[in-house]
Copies of this chain bind each other. A is one copy, B any other.
């Protein structure tokens, strides 16, 4: 059986590049890509550090770009030899969840680079549901930059968009229902006697959006938030690493340092004591989620795209007391991909500093070691 080189997970802090069997078309919806570029993603570190319980022996990586080497008969959107990219994780676009836009919860949506599906940090990768899991590359964006569209930009985009759209809608539920109940008879004389106040609806530019975490995904969320609230809107970015805060400022955010600033106090200063209208949390640990709770205003929208494995750091009583909107979980990449690409392409120059290292696949073990120590921002593996 034909062999290839691949990055194999051998347990916590153990990555090995070795020869494994080449993948082949297994279902008519499969495509096999000859990988050109793959990248390390922060979420790979959950496994690398041993926080994510998993077996060993599988190929890592869910961010990759390559050319179609072979394909099943049902793969109609792509031709052999075309250059394509992966969009987050496999999605069938046939199940109820996919058909309704919940592609983040495709019933067949197993992740690349997991014990259930080999990833793209290899010479070749098998892509299930290739028609919907893969995407063409737009000419307007250089190929290496498009690696950021495989996961981190759509994820950051989704996290920020989710918080901002939800908080903007928190004040207009009554209106929506008014439409729904318009078939009911009016109560005679009601309009003349009842208090029907005209409530103020916040506009995007009125918002103060707090982004916790300035890692790659966090920075993508920050740029999206700034795009959505516009020049007049406020985005505050928080991290403890100074050069990450520099990047956040380039994305248009005011910044606060977790080590030296009292985040809640500073946010309250900015909001007449209310707290942030929306919070986007991309850190993925309990203190970050607790800070999100403490810094948000009542009836604000909390969007958490960090990968959480433990308990929630606030009680039911606390959630009740603040009436907040809580939305956690991975991004639905497909519904937002086109819009996210629009935002990304218009700001792509801001992302050149993202890729700090380019190394051959053979040096993947060293790459993970650097990445884990935060000595590298984003590492691309080349072939």
Contacts and interface: CB of A to CB of B under 8 A. Distances in A.
B96 A174 contact: no
B174 A136 contact: no
Interface stretch (A1-9, A20-28, A337-345, A365-373): A337-345
B307 A135 contact: no
Given A315-B311, A323-B105, A193 B298 contact: no
Interface stretch (A29-37, A161-169, A214-222, A249-257): A161-169
A341 B187 contact: yes
A84 to B, nearest CB: 10
A145 interface: no
Contacts of A93: 197
Interface in A295-346: 298-299, 304, 307-317, 319-330, 334-339, 341-343, 345-346
Given A138-B188, A139-B188, A177 B200 contact: no
A169 B169 contact: yes
Given A204-B180, A317-B308, A325 B323 contact: no
A73 interface: no
Nearest to A229: B180
Contact of A330 (B99, B307, B323): B323
B195 A228 contact: no
B188 A342 contact: no
A181 B343 contact: yes
Contact of A316 (B141, B204, B289, B322): B289
A338 B194 contact: yes
- Most B CB atoms within 10 A — which of A93, A135, A316, A322? A316
Q: How many copies does the complex hold?
A: 2
Contacts of A197: 93, 132, 334
A345 B187 CA distance: 7
A259 interface: no
A187 B141 CA distance: 9
A312 B319 contact: yes
A313 B93 CA distance: 32
A185 to B, nearest CB: 6
Contact of A193 (B138, B188, B336): B138
A194 B135 contact: yes
Given A327-B326, A328-B319, A329-B323, A173 B161 contact: yes
A168 B184 CA distance: 20
A127 B272 CA distance: 28
A65 to B, nearest CB: 15
Contacts of A289: 316
A315 B186 CA distance: 44
A189 B338 CA distance: 12
A316 B281 CA distance: 13
A100 B328 contact: no
Contacts of A180: 164, 204, 227-228
The 3 closest A-B pairs by CB, nearest first: A323-B329, A308-B316, A101-B199
23 contacts: A93-B197, A96-B272, A97-B299, A99-B199, A132-B195, A135-B194, A135-B195, A138-B194, A168-B176, A173-B335, A173-B336, A174-B335, A177-B228, A181-B227, A181-B342, A194-B341, A197-B334, A304-B319, A311-B315, A316-B328, A322-B329, A325-B325, A325-B327
